[in-house]
């Protein structure tokens, strides 16, 4: 009977193999949502700082909406409410990634906006004075200068995203937390499984921050 | 007459014509009707107390600051505006960018691109704006950098250079676009005193080479020796427009006299 298994045996034979699969899904969800979130966040940030009201205003509404409502609600909304609203049925995985991407994009928008606005105005002016368009100034002058100062806050956001990805367990995606809950209930040994899951998330975040500081050092060396 | 203003090839030697230019920031009127003309090859120094509108005038001359009213003709075409059916409309951004690419600007704080090397600072705009072949622009940029005495520094990043060196790079960067007109916005004001000379020397040689220049400056010696004309501005107006010999010896306006007395006594 499994109840009789010792801690290590229970962990290595039952918990870790299952969690390992869940970790894979957690990483997949985090990486994809992170990529979409960064791309979307950058686009919305450019809208947010645009002089055109038609771009700035929807961007502000977007940020307000997605920062002002719970992520859990957004996940449930995308999965359960969108089908009846728009007549599109998303599987749990795309629905989860979509909700997380949209949410992360709102936070990343503000991160990008702050970074862009922290670049001295004279930089864009110098570009414009040389005959560059606003878009060229952004692309070749302003945005490249934001990269280094973006790394810490973006990594912070990605770490939050990795942990928030656990919320998609509510739409039955078998990522780490979902599996943990199942195992805990099945074997009635909650503390072991939850402790391992905690270590799993911690590992993801540590790898992320480690990569970030490596990247930051390499960029610092170049200047 | 208005139609002629849109596209009139300037046969004469006029580079810039400013008519009734005003600029307002909210309630604050910074320029109160500026009229002046700058000929090709002229070096016009603009002096005056701080807050007199000198820098704003200069920034209007390449439309970094959009005038509140009035017109600027640059090489015979209205800058930043176009006449359509008798109405002045804003010029499409693309066309304005093209006009700007012919007007070089040097800033008080250099505004070099810190993420690019000295050489890349000079080549970026010609490559992206004019589409010049990278090889061609590289050798031209190296030539310009030799001209301002910084060929050896071409691979450095701006943060490794002194203020004077940075400003000389900024001048080379502007010249790389082959501008017809160069604007200097207090180009030496942010420099340590011992570095001012090297930048003024570059500006002087540029003037001797026949470049049309508008120079907002506090360097009265430079204005005296290099400028062909000096504009004295105060409270958003040009109060005096004279050759330097006249302005510095017998100013005709009481306020310019007072200003010069204060500044030259130091």
For B49-98, the pLDDT digits (tens) are 999 999 999 999 999 999 999 999 999 999 999 999 999 999 999 999 99
Among the listed residues B253, B228, B216, the one whose alpha carbon sits nearest the alpha carbon of residue B57? B216
- As to burial, measured by CB atoms within 10 angstroms (0-12 exposed, 13-18 middle, 19+ buried), residue B264 is exposed
Q: Which of B63, B90, B91, B97 should we substitute to test contact with A (largest number of A Cβ atoms within 10 Å)?
A: B97
Q: Which residue of B lies nearest to A143 if distances are taken between CA atoms?
A: B115
Q: What is the pLDDT of residue B199?
A: 96
Q: What is the pLDDT of residue A3?
A: 53
Share of chain B above pLDDT 70, in %: 95
Q: Which residue of B lies nearest to A127 if distances are taken between CA atoms?
A: B125
* Chain B partners within 8 Å of A144 (Cβ): 115
Q: pLDDT band for position A9 (50/70/90)?
A: confident
Query: Does the beta-carbon distance from B128 to A140 stay under 8 Å?
Result: yes
* Chain B partners within 8 Å of A145 (Cβ): 113-115
The token pair at A182 is 């199942």
In the block, tokens 């570095």 appear at: B195
Q: What is the C-alpha to C-alpha distance for residues B123 and A161, in angstroms, rounded to an integer?
A: 40
Half-sphere exposure of B188 (CA within 13 A, CB side): 21
Average pLDDT over residues A9-24: 90
Query: Rg (Cα) of chain B, in Å, rounded?
Result: 19
Q: What is the pLDDT of residue A84?
A: 86
Query: Does the beta-carbon distance from B62 to A129 stay under 8 Å?
Result: yes
Among the listed residues A189, A29, A178, the one whose alpha carbon sits nearest the alpha carbon of residue A96? A29
Query: Does the beta-carbon distance from A136 to B112 stay under 8 Å?
Result: no
- Quick check: A132 pLDDT over 80? yes
Average pLDDT over residues A136-145: 96
Nearest-Cα distance to chain B for A126, in Å, is 6
In the block, tokens 């080479």 appear at: B209
pLDDT tens sequence across B151-165: 999 999 999 999 999
Q: What is the pLDDT of residue A2?
A: 47
Q: ipTM score here?
A: 0.91
pLDDT tens sequence across B174-207: 999 999 999 999 999 999 999 999 999 999 999 9
Q: What is the pLDDT of residue B10?
A: 46
Nearest-Cα distance to chain A for B178, in Å, is 10
The token pair at B89 is 């409309």
The token pair at A28 is 């997949």
Chain centroid to CA A95: 14
Among the listed residues B192, B120, B191, B108, the one whose alpha carbon sits nearest the alpha carbon of residue B156? B120
Average pLDDT over residues A30-48: 97
Question: Mean pLDDT in chain B?
Answer: 93
Instruction: List residues in chain A touching B: CB distance below 8 A.
Output: 120, 122-123, 125-134, 136, 140-141, 144-145, 223
Q: Which residue of A lies nearest to B109 if distances are taken between CA atoms?
A: A122
């Amino acid at each position: 009977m499994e109840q009789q298994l010792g801690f290590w045996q229970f962990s290595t034979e039952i918990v870790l193999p299952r969690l390992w699969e869940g970790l894979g899904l957690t990483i997949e969800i985090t990486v994809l949502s992170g990529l979409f979130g960064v791309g979307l966040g950058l686009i919305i940030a450019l809208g947010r700082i645009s002089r055109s009201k038609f771009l700035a205003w929807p961007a502000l509404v977007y940020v307000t909406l997605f920062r002002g409502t719970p992520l859990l609600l957004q996940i449930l909304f995308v999965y359960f409410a969108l089908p009846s609203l728009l007549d599109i049925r998303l599987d749990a995985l795309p629905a989860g990634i979509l909700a997380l991407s949209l949410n992360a994009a709102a936070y990343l928008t503000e991160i990008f906006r702050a970074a862009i606005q922290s670049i001295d105005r004279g930089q864009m002016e110098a570009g414009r004075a040389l005959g560059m368009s606003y878009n060229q100034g952004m692309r070749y002058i302003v945005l490249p200068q934001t990269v280094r100062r973006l790394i810490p806050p973006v990594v912070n956001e990605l770490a939050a995203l990795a942990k928030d990805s656990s919320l998609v367990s509510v739409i039955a995606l078998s990522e780490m937390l979902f599996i943990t809950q199942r195992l805990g209930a099945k074997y009635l040994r909650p503390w072991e499984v939850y402790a391992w899951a905690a270590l799993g998330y911690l590992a993801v975040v540590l790898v992320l921050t480690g990569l970030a500081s490596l990247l930051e050092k390499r960029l610092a060396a170049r200047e | 007459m208005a139609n002629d203003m849109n596209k009139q090839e300037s046969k004469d030697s006029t580079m810039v014509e400013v008519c009734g230019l005003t600029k307002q920031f909210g309630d604050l009127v910074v320029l109160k009707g500026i009229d002046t003309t700058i000929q090709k090859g002229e070096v016009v120094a603009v002096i005056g107390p701080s807050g007199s509108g000198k820098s704003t005038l200069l920034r209007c001359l390449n439309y970094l600051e959009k005038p509140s009213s009035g017109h600027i003709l640059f090489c015979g075409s209205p800058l930043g505006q176009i006449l359509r059916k008798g109405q002045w409309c804003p010029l499409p951004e693309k066309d304005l960018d093209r006009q700007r690419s012919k007007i070089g600007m040097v800033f008080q704080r250099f505004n070099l691109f810190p993420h690019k090397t000295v050489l890349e600072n000079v080549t970026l705009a010609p490559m992206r704006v004019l589409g010049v072949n990278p090889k061609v622009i590289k050798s031209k940029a190296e030539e310009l950098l030799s001209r301002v005495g910084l060929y050896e520094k071409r691979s450095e990043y701006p943060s490794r250079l002194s203020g004077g060196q940075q400003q000389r790079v900024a001048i080379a960067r502007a010249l790389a676009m082959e501008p017809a007109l160069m604007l200097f916005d207090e180009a030496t004001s942010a420099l340590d005193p011992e570095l001012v000379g090297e930048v003024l020397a570059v500006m002087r040689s540029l003037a001797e080479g026949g470049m049309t220049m508008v120079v907002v400056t506090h360097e009265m010696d430079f204005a005296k020796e290099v400028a062909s004309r000096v504009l004295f501005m105060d409270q958003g107006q040009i109060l005096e427009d004279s050759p330097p010999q006249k302005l510095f010896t017998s100013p005709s306006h009481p306020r310019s006299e007072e200003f010069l007395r204060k500044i030259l006594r130091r």
